Chains A and B, each alone.
Chain A
Amino acid sequence: MGLLAYGDTGWGDELFFATLMTIAVAAAAIFIGFFLAAIFASFKLSKSKTLNLIGSFYTTVFRGVPELLVIYLFFFGSSGAVMYVARIFGYDGYIEVNAFLTGALSIGIISGAYSTEVFRGAIQSINKGQFEASQVLGFKKKIYYYKIIIPQMLRLALPNISNVWQITLKDTSLISVTGLVEIMRMSYVAAGSTRDPLFFYSFAAVLYLFLTFLSLKLFNKLENHYSKGY
């Protein structure tokens, strides 16, 4: 167990922080994904054919191309793209998009493609009659969305959101290729340095199992909470 010692002699502290990084990047990614999903789900449900097409293009591409490729594309392309835009505005220096943001964005965009489908499905399943009822009751459109649609949508979507979260959490392991020090990257470095890959990759597997187990429990609790009254 010396390998996992906490401090400069072992990899315990490094792996601990790497686990926090995994959680942080997964959390950032899923929220970026929700944000994108809110936009693209409304595109997909809109009456405009163009918007439909944009929405479908997004979900098709990012659910159809390997995560690893998307990550590489962002990794190699993001700084270039940001600098290109900056140059238009007259700034000619180097701007680095750091590994955390690159990782969170690339995973977030993939996660968003899955969330879009979840949101769309959830909105469609809400009874149309409710909209009419709320109109009769004189609710404003905004209130209608915040008070009636969104809470219901969340409840219906929770099991699927739980799935998307699991996918997102596991996908973060792939951003290790960009150098962000999360669980997989740290295990990779430790395995290389100690020449004990079996131990460190198995330990990484245990850490991921722990995280997926924990989130499952959490989502079950949430589901129970929100299904009160049904």
Chain B
Amino acid sequence: MNIFKKTILTIFASLFLTVSVSADSIRIGTEGAYPPWNAKDESGKLIGFEVELANWLCIYMGKECTIVEQDWDGMIPGLIMRKYDAIMAGMSITDERMKTINFSQGYADEVAQLAVMKGSSLEGMDTPSGINLSLGGSDVKSALKTLTGALAGKTVCVQTATIHQNFLESGDVGSVSIRTYKTQDEVNLDLTAGRCDAALAAAVAFTDYAEKSGKDVVLVGPTFSGGAFGNGVGVGIRKDDTDLLKSFNKAIDTARKQGKISELAIKWFGFDASM
């Protein structure tokens, strides 16, 4: 009986609540497919670092929040169409995106890295452990040169419309063959299937996948930051919503001071990625 009631209610709700006018609450868009930043559990509930952080930020702002699920490729259009008022989806602050939307101050560092399957010829590349593209210098140049040589003729897989795709398309590592996917899950699947020679994403996305799937995914090459990789992950907000931007910045300040961001980062990433 319970099942039937739930069914009928679900159907009625979706049939009749066709047009919903937003109340005084803030709607936050997230992808729900980029663990450990944001993901979904077996009961279909949204979980992850950003989902918890979003709830805390709303508490600090004293506002009610609803978290809205949105596919990555429609994330920014969805914000502009006012489907939600803010984006918290592991979205890095980049100049490219700043042309269209605003960002709050960064709340976490996203470190990008290449991943391959164990035994790949790309293992053991001789590069520094991390490079910052904004700084430049001979270190960065030689590392990029090594990468260009190693990746020549290889297929590198990335999620579509990401900083990782932008970086590969920038020509910094020569002309690799890039394959773009709708979600990071799909990138992971094709990396393990052997369809990709390498994949590029947030390093934690790969370590999380390797741990949960038990597959031999290993990180190679330097960690990337700066340049096309932007300056950390922030809350995306429409250009004209300056008030909301201020309240988010203030709430992030509070969260940082109270150690909330560090606490959640350690819980979800295993290390303090707060900024």
Which A residues are closer than 8 A to B by beta carbons?
Answer: 8-11, 14, 17, 20-21, 24, 28, 75-76, 79-80, 82-83, 93-98, 100-101, 177, 179, 181, 189, 191-193, 195, 197
In the complex, the answer to whether B83 meets A192 with C-beta atoms within 8 Å is no
In the complex, the answer to whether B33 meets A100 with C-beta atoms within 8 Å is no
In the complex, the answer to whether B18 meets A98 with C-beta atoms within 8 Å is yes
Q: Looking at the complex, which one of A28, A96, A195, A197 makes contact with B83 (CB distance below 8 Å)?
A: A96
Per the CB 8 Å criterion, the residue count for chain B at the interface is 34
In the complex, the answer to whether A24 meets B14 with C-beta atoms within 8 Å is yes
Q: Tell me the smallest distance from the CB of A104 to a CB of chain B, in Å.
A: 9
Query: Using Cβ atoms and an 8 Å threshold, which residues of chain A touch B14?
Result: 21, 24, 98, 100
In the complex, the answer to whether A93 meets B21 with C-beta atoms within 8 Å is yes
How does the 8 Å CB contact mask read for B15-59 relative to A, with 1 for contact and 0 for none?
A: 101111110000000000100000111111000000000000000
Query: Using Cβ atoms and an 8 Å threshold, which residues of chain A touch B74?
Result: 75-76
Query: Using Cβ atoms and an 8 Å threshold, which residues of chain B touch A14?
Result: 43-44
B64 part of interface (Cβ distance < 8 Å) = no
Q: Tell me the smallest distance from the CB of B177 to a CB of chain A, in Å.
A: 23
Query: Using Cβ atoms and an 8 Å threshold, which residues of chain B touch A101?
Result: 18-19
Query: Using Cβ atoms and an 8 Å threshold, which residues of chain A touch B82?
Result: 79, 83, 94
Query: Using Cβ atoms and an 8 Å threshold, which residues of chain A touch B43?
Result: 8, 14
Bound-complex Cα distance A11 to B185 (A) = 18
In the complex, the answer to whether B42 meets A79 with C-beta atoms within 8 Å is no
In the complex with contacts A79-B81, A79-B82, A24-B42 CB distance below 8 A: no
Inter-chain residue pair count (beta carbon < 8 A): 79
Query: Using Cβ atoms and an 8 Å threshold, which residues of chain B touch A100?
Result: 14-15, 18
A177 and chain B: residue at smallest CB distance? B71
B169 part of interface (Cβ distance < 8 Å) = no
Q: Looking at the complex, which one of A21, A76, A98, A177 makes contact with B77 (CB distance below 8 Å)?
A: A76
Q: Tell me the smallest distance from the CB of A185 to a CB of chain B, in Å.
A: 10
A80 and chain B: residue at smallest CB distance? B81
In the complex, the answer to whether B185 meets A192 with C-beta atoms within 8 Å is yes
Query: Using Cβ atoms and an 8 Å threshold, which residues of chain A touch B18?
Result: 97-98, 100-101
Bound-complex Cα distance A21 to B33 (A) = 22
B172 part of interface (Cβ distance < 8 Å) = no
Report 27 cross-chain contacts, Cβ distance below 8 Å, ordered by A residue: A8-B42, A8-B43, A9-B42, A11-B42, A14-B44, A17-B10, A76-B74, A79-B82, A82-B19, A94-B21, A94-B22, A95-B20, A96-B19, A96-B22, A98-B14, A98-B18, A98-B19, A101-B19, A179-B69, A179-B70, A189-B33, A191-B185, A192-B183, A193-B41, A195-B185, A195-B188, A195-B212
Query: Using Cβ atoms and an 8 Å threshold, which residues of chain B touch A9?
Result: 42
